[in-house]
């Protein structure tokens, strides 16, 4: 059974940092592109970052480029999102998602909530 379990979210002050993790199991992790998708309150989801099989970041949302870094550990089956200089606009539930094909995601985690507030 495919499982994606996010962790690392929480309450952080503006300007702070967080590192999100996603533990993957039930599939050959190294064979799939992976993504972080977020959904802010009362808004539609948006793709935050995308990483290819070899661990090369392929896409960042304009508003996070330079502040967020996506990475993966194919040996331990983990996906990460390092988030710096966080602002209120980054408040959202962050989901880890497995790419089926052409950024259509066949498995998602339950998400981890990131709240940026003083």
List of residues contacting other proteins (CB under 8 A): 4, 43-47, 50, 58-59, 61, 95, 100-111
Query: Please, what is the minimum distance in Å from the beta carbon of residue 45 to other proteins?
Result: 5
CA distances from 93 to 11, 38, 74 (A): 12, 5, 24
**Least spacing, CB of residue 90 vs other proteins, in Å:** 17
Q: What is the Cα Rg of the chain in Å?
A: 13
Count CA atoms closer than 13 A to 106's CA, side-chain side.
10
In whole angstroms, the minimum distance from the beta carbon of 66 to other proteins comes to: 17
Tell the smallest beta-carbon distance from residue 72 to other proteins (Å).
17
End-to-end CA distance of the chain: 40
Strands (E), the chain: 3-7, 10-12, 18-25, 34-39, 45-51, 57-60, 68-73, 78-83, 92-101, 104-108, 112-116
Choose between 47 and 53: whose C-beta lies nearer to other proteins. Answer: 47
Q: For other proteins, which is the closer residue by CB, 78 or 108?
A: 108
Q: Which is nearer to other proteins, 35 or 80 (CB)?
A: 35
Nearer to other proteins, 27 or 107 (CB): 107
């Amino acid at each position: 059974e495919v499982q994606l379990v996010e962790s690392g979210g929480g309450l952080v002050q503006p300007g702070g940092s967080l590192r999100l993790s996603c533990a993957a199991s039930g599939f050959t992790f190294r064979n799939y592109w992976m993504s972080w998708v977020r959904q802010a309150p009362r808004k539609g989801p948006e793709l935050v970052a995308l990483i290819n099989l070899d661990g090369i970041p392929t896409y960042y949302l304009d508003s996070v480029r330079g502040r967020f870094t996506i990475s993966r550990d194919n040996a331990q089956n983990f996906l990460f999102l390092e988030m710096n200089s966080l602002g209120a606009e980054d408040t959202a539930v962050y989901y880890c998602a497995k790419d089926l094909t052409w950024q259509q995601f066949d498995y998602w985690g339950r998400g981890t909530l990131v709240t940026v507030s003083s």
